[in-house]
């Protein structure tokens, strides 16, 4: 795993690049990244306005992004910190499935990647290290959790306050 940073305007972006080899590795990295992100969001000046913990999945890039957001931003990112998990495994899975003939089997495979990712996120938020950091952060911040998928119809994935998936 390699951690790097870059600046995107006023936003500090922290990137975790992983050479994970399967869903177990992905789940462990998601938990570690979410735990670090939640802890650091609570420490930033931007956290004062953080009503939401926004989690976005970009399957075509194997990228999971996490950042604080407030209700008045209405989708506009004005955050001061952003966390990215760039997974070689997730990217390879998307590429593998994208090479299949475009039919219902391909769509089913893409939905399987999507579902497995959100199950890993939910597991981390409910019982992983991220759950402990979330409980601590919620002592001072509301941090409602919201998730978005991109490239698969760009749908909204709501997670319960405790991190359970709303299906």
Residue 47 — pLDDT band, cuts 50, 70, 90? Answer: low
Confidence at 146, pLDDT banded by 50, 70, 90: confident
Kindly state whether residue 166 falls inside one of the protein's structural domains.
no
Q: Which residue has the higher pLDDT, 52 or 133?
A: 133
Q: What is the mean pLDDT of the chain?
A: 84
By residue range, what is the domain housing residue 34? 2-158
User: What pLDDT, in 10s, does the model give residues 101-131?
Assistant: 887 888 889 889 988 999 999 999 999 999 9
Domain-embedded: residue 58: yes
Query: How many domains is the chain partitioned into structurally?
Result: 1
Residue 167, pLDDT above cutoff 80: no
**H helix intervals, 44-160:** 88-98, 104-127, 129-137
The structure tokens 């070689």 sit at 88
Examine the pLDDT at 151 and tell me if it is beyond 60. yes
Domain membership flag for residue 39: yes
> Is 167 domain-assigned?
no
Q: Assess contact for 75 and 56: CB atoms under 8 A.
A: no
Predicted structure pTM score: 0.87
Cβ atoms of 146 and 66 within 8 Å: the answer is no
pLDDT score for 10: 84
Q: Which pLDDT band, with edges at 50, 70 and 90, does 75 fall under?
A: low
Is residue 96 a part of any domain in this protein?
yes
Q: Is 110 exposed, middle or buried (0-12, 13-18, 19+ CB in 10 A)?
A: buried
Highest mean pLDDT among 70-79, 104-113, 147-156: 104-113
Distance of CA 34 to the CA centre of its chain: 7
pLDDT at 139: 87
Q: Which of 23-32, 66-75, 112-121 has the lowest mean pLDDT?
A: 66-75
DSSP assigned state of 104: H
Q: Is residue 165 part of a domain?
A: no
The answer to whether residue 100 sits within a structural domain is yes
Q: Is residue 128 part of a domain?
A: yes
Check pLDDT > 90 for residue 70. Answer: no
Please report the pLDDT score of residue 89 as a whole number: 95
């Amino acid at each position: 795993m390699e951690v790097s940073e870059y600046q995107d305007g006023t936003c500090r972006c922290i990137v975790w690049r992983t050479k994970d080899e399967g869903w177990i590795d992905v789940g462990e990295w998601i938990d570690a990244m979410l735990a670090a992100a939640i802890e650091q969001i609570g420490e930033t000046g931007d956290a004062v306005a953080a009503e939401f913990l926004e989690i976005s999945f970009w399957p075509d890039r194997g990228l999971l992004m996490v950042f604080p957001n407030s209700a008045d931003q209405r989708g506009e990112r004005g955050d001061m910190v952003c966390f990215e998990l760039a997974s070689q495994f997730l990217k390879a899975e998307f590429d593998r499935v994208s090479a299949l003939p475009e039919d219902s089997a391909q769509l089913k495979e893409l939905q399987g990647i999507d579902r497995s990712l959100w199950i890993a996120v939910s597991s981390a938020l409910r019982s992983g290290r991220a759950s402990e950091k979330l409980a601590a952060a919620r002592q001072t911040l509301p941090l409602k959790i919201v998730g978005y998928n991109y490239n698969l119809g760009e749908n909204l994935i709501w997670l319960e306050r405790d991190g359970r998936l709303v299906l």
